Amino acid sequence: MSSFEQKSAGTIETPMPSAGRPGQQPAVLVVEDDPNMREYLREALAASGCACTAFSGSLAALAYLATAPEIPDLVLSDIDMPGMSGMELLRTVRTVAPDLPFILISGLCEL
């Protein structure tokens, strides 16, 4: 059983193509519980030439990573989410993919 394997608690927004390698689009995994922000991030990343897979929660993202054929090039995650926070997601991902770039974002003024 993979360290990523968990029950899914979110929704898959877009299937991810192969991870960004030379000649391919960079693959970004977005984890954001706010649907408007999730859609904005997807559109902005797509406009920048990235392939984007988006989830509404950390557990769904972990379930996806457990079965994904390739690890994405970047994870972009909200910090404050119901269930597993972005910080907890980061810690879990680091145990399996320590070199995976990970950006935490938040719309909160106080953390």
Q: What is the pLDDT of residues 11-55, one digit of tens each?
A: 444 433 445 466 788 999 999 999 999 999 999 999 999 999 999
Indicate whether 77 pLDDT > 80.
Answer: yes
Within 10 A of 41 (CB to CB), how many other CB atoms are there?
21
pLDDT of residue 111: 55
Indicate whether 85 pLDDT > 80.
Answer: yes
pLDDT tier, 102 (very low <50, low <70, confident <90, very high otherwise): very high
Query: Above pLDDT 70, what percent of the chain?
Result: 77
Q: What is the dihedral of CA 111, 34, 81, 15, to 10 degrees?
A: -130
Q: Kindly report the average pLDDT of the chain as a whole number.
A: 83
pLDDT of residue 24: 83
Torsion sign across C-alpha atoms 106, 80, 63, 103 = positive
pLDDT of residue 11: 45
Model's pTM, two decimal places?
A: 0.79
pLDDT tier, 61 (very low <50, low <70, confident <90, very high otherwise): very high
